[in-house]
Amino acid sequence: MFAWTFERDGKSRQVSVDGRVIVNDTDLAVRAAVDGLGIAYAAEAVADPFLRSGQLIPVLEDWSPSFEGFFLYYPGHRQVPVALRALIDMLRTARGPALDKGLIKHSLAAD
């Protein structure tokens, strides 16, 4: 299964987690945690509305790994294929709100 990664003071640990409820969707994991089924390993941007409302509380904050952002590398051609341009534009649009709230640090390299 999926191992949870934790970082603190430059050290990283991975923990294999076993439980009665296992999901492969972060939104569903957060919803299960809100419903009292356990804890969820999720990006702060996904859990933020529930953290702000008090429905969830953060645990192991000092072990939270940082998220450096998405990186997109492609050949620097003058004419970027239409499908790639659409992906770049979609990623830039989707990252906006979370970046504005300071929830995700941006490192998307495009253009």
Asked whether residue 43 falls in the same domain as residue 14, the answer is yes
Check whether residue 52 and residue 93 sit in a common domain: no
Q: Are residues 7 and 55 in the same domain?
A: yes
Does 30 lie in the same domain as 50? Answer: yes
Q: Which domain holds residue 105?
A: 67-111
The pLDDT tens digits for 23-74 are: 889 999 999 999 999 999 998 889 999 999 999 999 988 888 776 666 777 7
Q: Are residues 58 and 71 in the same domain?
A: no
Q: How far apart are CA 58 and CA 15, in angstroms?
A: 18
2 — pLDDT class (breaks 50, 70, 90): confident
Report yes or no: 73 and 111 within 8 Å, Cβ to Cβ: no
Min mean pLDDT across 9-18, 22-31, 74-83, 95-104 is at 95-104
Please enumerate in sequence order all residues whose Cβ is within 8 A of that of 17, keeping only pairs 6 or more positions apart, or say none: 1, 2, 3, 4, 41
Both 74 and 111 in one domain: the answer is yes
Report how many domains make up the chain: 2
pLDDT of amino acid 96: 57
